[in-house]
Structure 1
Amino acid sequence: MKKGELAKELGVWEAFLLSVGGMIGAAIFVLGAQTGMIAGPSAILAWALAGLLMFIIALVLVEQATVFPRAGAIPAYAMETFGKSFAVRSFASFLGGWGSLIGQWFGVPFSAMYVGGYVVSIIPSLAGYETIITWLVLTFAFLLNISGISITGKANAALTALLLVLMLAFFFRGAPAVNLNNYSPFFATGGINFLKAIPIAALGFGAWLSILAAAEEIKNPEKTLPKAIGLSILVTTVFYLLILFPLYGTVNWQEFTPENPFAFWAPLSYAAVKFAPAESWVQLVISLAAILALITTVIALMLLASRVIYGMGKIGIFPSGCGYVWARRRTPAVALIIVYVVSMILGSNPDWVMAIIVIGTVMYAIGFLVGILSHIGLRINRKDIKAPFRVPGGIGFSIIAFVALALLLINVSTLEIWYSLLAVVVGIVYFVIRYASRTGVFAKKPS
């Protein structure tokens, strides 16, 4: 291994569990109620379709990752595939990286903020200390990440395995209490509302990108990445459906309303009270599973954000210091410190939660859009390269991915667009200044 390179230590199993642990986070413990309110019983199908649409988008990025197994993922792909113009390639690389970075980075403090509420549900005496709990979670994730990818992968694997066991316990206890009448009529709120539930459910599937962003640290990426990504999205979808089946089967969808705050904000706990009112262990299982899910998501998203910053620093779009590797642990120390410090600041301000959500929603879609365009560029502009893993249909599959992304954005409001445009403008201003500075990658002769 050369000096300054990241450690290549993740195998299929570790990569798979890192992806699963990243995906199963706050979404399933909160958003099940929102999708149920919007789509009625058909919300369970909306979650299944969200998993399928994410799988389609993931495949076009996995193909590129097997050709360019580099840290950061999307910015590296765009720099290689967006034609001969240096200005176009560098801007696409920046925009794709900026979108995926902000979209996923904001998930770090968002997930950490919710841990406190579940901890307090187990230990009520800790009420009022939620921000300190947020800081502790962020610090734990930072220390794991900076200790090395091997330690991060092993710790995350153990936490994720325990999480899946707890989720199965909820399913096996709740399934016998399901009343199938709660699933009729299935499309209770109509087809349009069913479509609107899909992008909300999709928020629970984005963290698989962490594995692509860490491609430089994965053994045999051309074989490991397709297996780990495909299997992790499939398993995550299955586990989501296992949880949602007793949720929608024991709680009538009309109970998921802001006027019923218990059902709206803690749907799994609400369901448990209905199907196991005298069994306190079920509530404990939900709280522990939520804590583990949120922590594993923080770990994965912190890894993802740091690798995007590192990858953009390595390319030269961000300052070269962002590409620094701590020789002792082979980790991107500077990038991790940046992610940690900003996450601590955001995590200290719970009032910013909604702004975090609305900006992140569109920004990660911008990253995916650049990634899909990069796939088209790979097939058209880089005929000198044949990927070890190729999706069927070539550019036709990219068009399918565009449709999938459009469906995932069907519920985006004007407010979200304006918030996100502000984030885009901030990024473009930085890019213009960086481009004009003729430093980093911009100091090189365009090719």
Structure 2
Amino acid sequence: MNLRAAAVRRKPVADLITEGDHGTLKRSLGLGQLTMLSIGATLGSGIFVVLGEAVPVAGPAVVLSFVLAGVTALFSALSYAELAGMIPVSGSSYSYAYATLGELVAWVCGWCLVLEYGVSVASVAVGWGQYLNELLRLTFGFAIPDALSQPPGSGGIVNVPAIVVVLLAMFLLLSGAKESARANAIMVVIKVGTLVLFCAIAFSAVRAANFTPFLPLGLAGLSAGAAKLFFSYIGFDAASTAGEEAKNPQRDLPRAILLSLAIVTVLYCLVAVAAVGALPWQEFDGQEAALSHVLGVVADNPLWAGLLAVGAIVAISSVVLTVLYGQTRILFSMSRDGLVPAALSKVDPKSGTPRINTLVVSGFVAALAAFIPLGKLADATSIGTLFAFGLVNVAVLLLRRRQPEAPRSFRVPFSPVTPILGVLCCGYMMLSLDGATWIVFAGWMALGLLIYFGYSMRRSRLAAE
């Protein structure tokens, strides 16, 4: 087989759309559920801990850092919105790359998403156990012992809470996309309500003096804060993985992606204003649970800290559910294309979900969270995400040139400038990551290429055709 020909073969956009229209997944999700899906995947443990890392480097200007990070994410969100409306399939950026950049790049993109989704879910599941312990301490005065709440290498034997939250998400996913979306919507309402409650309490203690000087560390601090905060926006693309389960994908997918990003950005900015207004920015240094720290200072009542812990538990549960959903749908598309085993694209006729796929992914993630200290490996999720975002911006540019007259329910404004800015922003963020992250990424890519050339390239449906 000609390796170059295999690597650059592309899947026509028309074929992707036909597969989506005549697929085996059930179309049951409306605009509200799709928006909640993206909010559920984005609004998670990040806002509960990331503020403590960003405020010391940006000062009160962390509010503008959130805006700057949101604008950076917006460039890629606009590209996702155009392609999701044009190619409404489950594969998200993997499918967009297959249609524009060829099979090899699509495989690399899909492999990056496996790293991003799988490791990030495991990492978030570990955080869920930590917040559960916090709630148990506040409510009952005891916590789960380290032996049963930490993985080997971190002072424990097995992380039972992490297994529990992954299995709960798995059972919801197996019940069907509509049922999972309904549960996620309830969790999103709870966690948004928790953050609004935090704002209401913190705003009662806001002092104007805490905002001066507004830029104590200059513009460099502002941009450094934005670089840290960018990763709080990862997840807005979750709606694009529901392309084959949306009732009206051409209309609803672009709206859901952009609406979720707008809601999350406004909420982040409100939380940031309330937090730095209630507490001098110097006091955030070293505070991992920044929001709990703020409440502990401004409200002398353990009830509020307990409610915040409940909100964090619900927030993380929602992230586990929605990101696990996205992982199964991307593997579903890769399996349908022949790049991974066919069993992963078999759909249960009763629930309309890829049952084997869900069981395999959930088992892998649960084992990862239970027995492996994630450490620096978790940072590699960021580089995989940014790589996928960059490819989506490139895909918009290529499809605009190759198929300018193709129907698009949404068009990126100011193209090609906006997608080019998206590529540059993703490249800048990738270069800002440390060397250890790049080493992990390179090792993961090497493993992926071995699998592609040894298995996927010859079993591809395009190869058969």
Report whether the alignment pairs 1:400 with 2:413: no
Give the Å deviation of 1:174.
0.7
Q: In structure 1, the residue corresponding to 2:50 is in which secondary structure?
A: helix
The match for 2:122 among 109, 122, 134 is 109
Instruction: Specify the alignment match of 1:99 in structure 2.
Output: 112
Q: CA RMSD in A?
A: 1.9
Structure 1 residues without counterparts, runs of 5 or longer: 83-88, 259-263
Task: Give the aligned residue type for 1:319.
Answer: P
Match 1:342 to one of 337, 341, 364: 364
1:127 corresponds to which residue?
A: 144
Q: Note if 1:297 corresponds to 2:316.
A: no
Residue in structure 2 matched with residue 241 of structure 1 by the alignment: 269
Tell me the amino acid that sits aligned with residue 337 of structure 2.
Answer: I
Counterpart selection for 2:451 from 427, 430, 441:
430
**Cα distance, 1:179–1:14 mapped onto 2, change above 3 Å:** same
Which moves more between the two structures, 113-122 or 147-156? 113-122
Q: 2:299 aligns with which of 259, 273, 276?
A: 276
8 Å CA contact retained: 2:340, 2:456 = no
Residue 86 of structure 1 corresponds to none
Q: Deviations over 1:301-355 (max 9, x none)?
A: 0011111111111122222222111111111222212221111111113622x22
CA distance in structure 2 between the aligned counterparts of 1:59 and 1:161, rounded to whole angstroms: 25
Match of 1:231 in 2: 259
After TM superposition, the score normalised by the length of structure 1 is 0.92
Q: Which amino acid aligns with 2:103?
A: S
| Inter-CA distance 62–235: structure 2 relative to 1 (3 Å threshold) | same
Q: TM-score, normalised by structure 2?
A: 0.88
Of the structure 1 ranges 62-71 and 380-389, higher mean CA displacement relative to structure 2 is found in 380-389
Decide which moves more: 285-294 or 402-411: 402-411
Residue by residue, what CA displacement relative to the aligned partner does 1:74-112 show, whole Å, maximum 9, x if unpaired?
111122223xxxxxx101211222222311322111111
Counterpart residue type for residue 177 of structure 1: A
Seen in structure 2, the aligned counterparts of structure 1 residues 4 and 225 have a Cα distance that, compared at 3 Å, is closer
Q: 1:146–1:331: 8 Å Cα contact kept in structure 2?
A: yes
SS of 1:328's equivalent in the other structure is coil
Give aligned-pair identity as a percent: 23
Q: 1:26 to 1:42 in 2, by over 3 A?
A: same
Say if 2:27 and 2:247, in contact at 8 Å, map to a contact too.
yes
Q: CA deviation at 1:384?
A: 5.0
Q: Which residue number in structure 1 is paired with residue 38 of structure 2?
A: 19
1:27-47 Cα shifts (integer Å, max 9, x gaps)? 001111001122222222111
Deviation, 1:184, is 1.9
Q: What is the deviation of 1:178?
A: 1.3
Is residue 460 of structure 2 the alignment partner of residue 440 of structure 1? yes
Structure 2 residue identity aligned to 1:102: L
Aligned to 1:362: 383
Indicate the larger mover: 115-124 or 285-294: 115-124
Deviation at 1:426, TM superposition (A): 1.4
SS in structure 2 at match of 1:20:
helix
Residue in structure 2 matched with residue 118 of structure 1 by the alignment:
131
SS of residue in 2 equivalent to 1:265: coil
2:348 corresponds to 1:326:
yes
Equivalents in 2 of 1:349, 1:204: separation in Å?
A: 26
C-alpha distance in 2, partners of 1:419/1:181?
Answer: 44
Where does residue 408 of structure 2 map in the other structure?
387
Please list every run of 5 or more consecutive structure 2 residues that lacks an aligned counterpart in the other structure: 1-19, 150-158
CA distance in 2, matches of 1:285, 1:410: 39
Deviations 1:116-167 (A, max 9, x none): 2222222132322432211111111111111110000111111111211121
Q: Which residue of 1 aligns with 2:225?
A: 197
User: In the TM superposition, what is the alpha-carbon distance from 1:249 to its structure 2 partner?
Assistant: 1.8
Deviation at 1:180, TM superposition (A): 2.4
**Counterpart code for 1:127:** I
> What whole-Å deviation, never above 9, does each CA across 1:380-433 have from its counterpart, x for those lacking one?
222352312111233222112123323533531122112211111111121111
Q: In structure 2, what is the Cα distance between the partners aligned to 1:77 and 1:95?
A: 12
- Between the aligned partners of 2:428 and 2:264, the Cα distance in structure 1 is 20
Give the counterpart letter for 1:424 in structure 2.
M
Q: Does 1:66 align with 2:106?
A: no
Task: Return the letter of the residue paired with 2:289.
Answer: A
Partner of 2:12: none
Q: 1:291 to 1:75 in 2, by over 3 A?
A: same
Matched, 1:418 2:439: yes
Is the counterpart of residue 50 in structure 1 residue 72 in structure 2?
A: no
Asked if structure 2 preserves the Cα contact closer than 8 Å seen for 1:313 and 1:320, the reply is yes
Match of 2:49 in 1: 30
- Structure 2 counterpart of 1:5, from 17, 21, 24: 24
Q: Which residue of 1 aligns with 2:214?
A: 186
Letter in 1 for 2:370: S
Pick closer, same or farther for the CA change 1:147–1:323 going to 2, 3 Å: same
The structure 1 segments of at least 4 consecutive aligned residues displaced by more than 4 Å after TM superposition are 1-4
Q: Distance in 1 between matches of 2:347 and 2:416?
A: 36
What is the Cα deviation at residue 194 of structure 1?
A: 2.2
Matched residues in 1 for 2:299 and 2:42: separation? Answer: 27
- Which amino acid is the alignment partner of residue 316 of structure 1? G
Aligned length in residues = 431
